[in-house]
Amino acid sequence: MKKDFLCLSDWSKADLDQLFALTGDLKARQKRGEPHRLLEGKTLAMIFEKNSTRTRVSFEVGMHQLGGHALFLHSGTTQMGRGEPVRDTGRVMARYCDGIMIRTYSQQAVEELAKWSDAPVINGLTDLYHPCQLMADIFTVIEHKGGYRGLTFAWIGDGNNMANSWINAAAVLGFRLRIATPEGYRPDSDVVARAEQLGADLSFTSDPLEAADGADVLSTDVWASMGQEEEAEKRRRAFAGFQLDRRVLDAAAKDAIVLHCLPAHRGEEISDEVIESPQSVVFDEAENRLHAQKAIMATLMG
């Protein structure tokens, strides 16, 4: 039976730990120059409704390293852009390709695509979730901290798709998560409710220093995500005081590490000093998109 990767909370802790282990194995094999063509002859369709740098390059390079082929499809140049139903696209793509990655706005569209596709579907980002990024983030924590158990994570900034995904991860993996957002910008209430039903250890505040106090991992994202450009000035005002800067980093544990999913707006959500500090693992995190997504593709499509 085919399995999709649409949301972290669709997967068990054991399943995610297996993906982290495979991520480490594939990264080590790539660093040694050891061939690992686990998807020889297979094809991934990559559907983009939102622009991307890291998502496209990491999936495309990942498929190449696994011995397969990645096919770039921009919605504006396909029949999806002319209104073809998602269900029809899913049924047809599954007859050509061994997997589908989609980066789009609506989580419902991704779920509809997966419902009708016989091939595995990977959520490359929606307005609600960004699960592939979270796999890279947590794998980076494992590399630098030796694991995620017993750690305190702090999210500083917008209650966006990244915050929602951190909440899902906390629910499944069982780590402590503090979230600092301005009033009116909290994470999705349904996501929070489901995570709390699963026993997630969550706390919410409007004080970044309170969230960061003694935390082991600090993370943030841009204040205005793709599609919110018209709100940018309003958001700059609302998020004043939420920059991940030296003041916030000093409130965390002395050996805390800093994550950011990129692209970063230096001087807004994160200071140049912090993103360039020795405690920043942002570029390891960016690299790990490649290795984490290879593990996901090899597991779903192999």
Annotated binding site for carbamoyl phosphate: 52-55, 79, 103, 130-133, 261-262, 289
| 261 is an active site residue | yes
| Dihedral sign computed on CA atoms, order 260, 20, 297, 190 | negative
| Kind plus residue range of the DSSP H or E element containing 43 | strand 43-48
**Exactly one of 245, 260, 261, 293 is catalytic; which is it?**
261
CA dihedral 205, 206, 210, 216 (to 10 degrees): 70
Task: Specify binding-site residues for L-ornithine.
Answer: 161, 221, 225-226
Active-site residue 149, yes or no? no
Give the number of residues written for the chain: 302
Using a 10 angstrom Cβ sphere, with 0-12 exposed, 13-18 middle and 19 or more buried, the burial of residue 216 is buried
Catalytic residue among 65, 98, 103, 178: 103
Binding residues: 52-55, 79, 103, 130-133, 161, 221, 225-226, 261-262, 289
Give the span between the Cα atoms of 286 and 54, in whole angstroms: 8
Catalytic, 7? Answer no
Examine the residue annotation and report whether 103 is marked as an active-site residue of this protein: yes
Strand order in the sheet with 69-74: 69-74, 43-48, 99-103, 121-125
Active-site residue 144, yes or no?
no
**Active-site option among 97, 98, 127, 133:** 133
Pick the catalytic residue: 4, 98, 221, 245?
Answer: 221
The residue annotated as part of the active site, out of 56, 130, 178, 291, is 130
Q: 287: Cβ–Cβ under 8 A, 6 or more apart, which residues?
A: none
Q: Which residues are identified as catalytic?
A: 103, 130, 133, 221, 261, 289
